[in-house]
């Protein structure tokens, strides 16, 4: 695989880095304290062309004539790393369909894609979509979800509770996963697009988190919420051919490398801050034994980040080529999250008290990065996915 950046990708890298450094970083600490980025700033970014579309592969119906780049996933992970280098909460707060985009793009009918992606084309307005899979009793164990969907004429009646939903409170719609029959397990799962304002659909509490505080995370409540059959993603027929669980999981093959790229971006930010601090504070050119240890630690941080980035780029390149990449996507996510967590700890070690200070971004990055080992499947879950695929390969010999 040739990982030389194309001129277009180099352009994305430079532009997103410039934005991250000059527009996003200066607001980062204030946004963390106020728990949001101002809408005026998000609108300004949107008008500059910076939306989730810039960091996600594609969230428009293929039929509207937009040519899908051959390296859309590669370009997306490059942009995501730079934006997260600026601020990881910001990237999750950008207007756009968010994690709700991939299931609609992957399984929605043409009519559904046109309908649900339409708001994001309006230049002067902020719109969000969201992805509602997690429940209080079903996080990693998504197969055990308890939100029910009962068919009633031309509607489904949804009952249940979703938690930790990114942009859930402000989203125009949320892709909600529910079961038509809990005894069927995964075969009973269905994905519905539930629109804001639908009677019976409400926002519960906003979650208070350790990290990514400027990104909104909400609890959603469904109480006898009637959703028209037209909002069943992909229509009835796709669930006869395959199960809804696959719809939920297919999303992750595209989004896990993207999330892993963000973790690399946070880790790189911490590494660079520690490296620059060490250069100034310790004058590393002078070979004292203590300095050699810090140099070795910085070398290890950079080496591990580079390895994580290569795993991310491989998983994204496989998605671009249409190759099955479940194992590789999980490898990139598991490794990048682990490395980025360790690198932020190492950065705190290099900087000592200066890194622990609340005005030092390293302290914030240390809090932010933990979530990358939790959402989109925890580290353990990625390891289970990898092990499962490993045994499938061994069986086939």
In the complex, which residues of this chain contact ligand FAD (CB under 6 A)?
99, 130-134, 139-140, 164-166, 209, 212, 217, 371, 374-375, 378, 380-381, 384
Three-state secondary structure call for residue 70: coil
> By Cβ distance, which residue is nearest to ligand FAD?
139
Cβ proximity to ligand FAD: between 98 and 234 the closer is: 98
Residue written as token pair 């600490």: 29
Please count the other Cβ atoms lying within 10 Å of the Cβ belonging to residue 254: 25
Cβ neighbours for 88, distance < 8 A, ≥ 6 positions apart: 212, 215, 262, 265, 266, 368, 369
Which one-letter DSSP state was computed for residue 23?
I
Number of residues that this document lists for the chain:
397
Three-state secondary structure call for residue 206: strand
Cβ 371 vs Cβ 209: under 8 Å: yes
Listed in sequence order, the DSSP H helices in the chain are: 7-19, 25-34, 39-47, 72-86, 88-93, 101-107, 110-117, 236-241, 244-282, 289-320, 326-351, 353-356, 361-369, 379-395
Computed from CA positions of residues 255, 374, 188, 180, in that sequence, does the dihedral angle turn out positive or negative? negative
Cβ 200 vs Cβ 222: under 8 Å: yes
Cβ proximity to ligand FAD: between 273 and 333 the closer is: 333
Residue 80: CA atoms inside 13 Å, Cβ hemisphere, count?
28
CB of 191 to ligand FAD, least distance (A): 12
* Structure-block tokens of residue 376: 């989109």
Cβ proximity to ligand FAD: between 301 and 386 the closer is: 386
Cβ proximity to ligand FAD: between 194 and 278 the closer is: 194
Cβ proximity to ligand FAD: between 121 and 380 the closer is: 380
Pick the catalytic residue: 81, 82, 135, 376? 376
CB of 80 to ligand FAD, least distance (A): 16
Longest Cα separation, the chain:
78
CB of 373 to ligand FAD, least distance (A): 8
CB of 139 to ligand FAD, least distance (A): 2
* Structure-block tokens of residue 166: 């990114």
338 is catalytic: no
Cβ proximity to ligand FAD: between 130 and 351 the closer is: 130
CB of 88 to ligand FAD, least distance (A): 10
CB of 375 to ligand FAD, least distance (A): 4
Computed from CA positions of residues 355, 358, 364, 367, in that sequence, does the dihedral angle turn out positive or negative? positive
Which residues carry out catalysis? 376
């Amino acid at each position: 695989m040739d990982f030389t950046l194309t001129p277009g990708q180099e352009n994305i890298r430079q532009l997103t880095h410039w934005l991250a450094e000059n527009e996003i970083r200066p607001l980062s600490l204030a946004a963390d304290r106020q728990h949001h980025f101002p809408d005026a700033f998000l609108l300004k970014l949107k008008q500059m062309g910076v939306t989730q579309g810039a960091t996600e592969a594609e969230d428009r119906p293929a039929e509207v004539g937009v040519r899908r780049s051959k390296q859309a996933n590669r370009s997306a992970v490059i942009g995501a790393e730079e934006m997260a280098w600026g601020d990881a909460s910001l990237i999750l707060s950008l207007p756009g369909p968010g994690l709700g985009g991939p299931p609609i793009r992957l399984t929605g009918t043409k009519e559904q894609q046109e309908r649900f992606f339409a708001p994001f084309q309006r230049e002067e307005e902020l719109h969000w979509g969201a992805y509602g899979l997690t429940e209080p009793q079903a996080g990693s164990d998504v197969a055990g979800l308890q939100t029910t969907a009962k068919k009633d004429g031309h509607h489904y009646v949804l009952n249940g509770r979703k938690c930790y939903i990114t942009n859930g409170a402000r989203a125009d719609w949320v892709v909600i996963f529910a079961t038509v029959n809990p005894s069927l397990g995964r075969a009973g799962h269905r994905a519905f697009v539930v629109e804001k304002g639908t009677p019976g659909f409400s926002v519960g509490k906003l979650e208070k988190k350790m990290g990514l505080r400027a990104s909104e995370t909400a609890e959603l409540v469904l109480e006898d919420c009637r959703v028209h059959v037209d909002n069943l993603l992909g229509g009835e027929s796709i669930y006869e051919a395959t199960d809804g669980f696959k719809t939920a999981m297919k999303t992750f093959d595209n989004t896990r490398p993207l999330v892993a790229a963000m973790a690399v971006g946070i880790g790189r930010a911490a590494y660079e801050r520690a490296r620059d601090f060490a250069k100034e504070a310790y004058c590393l050119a002078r070979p004292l034994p203590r300095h050699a240890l810090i140099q070795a630690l910085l070398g290890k941080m950079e080496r591990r980040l580079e390895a994580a980035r290569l795993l991310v780029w491989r998983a994204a390149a496989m998605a671009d080529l249409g190759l099955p990449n479940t194992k590789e996507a999980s490898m990139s996510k598991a490794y990048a999250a682990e490395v980025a967590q360790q690198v932020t700890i190492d950065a705190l070690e290099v900087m000592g008290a200066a890194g622990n200070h609340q005005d030092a971004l390293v302290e914030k990055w240390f809090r932010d990065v933990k979530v990358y080992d939790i959402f989109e499947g925890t580290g353990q879950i990625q390891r289970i996915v990898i092990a499962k695929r490993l045994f499938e390969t061994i069986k086939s010999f």
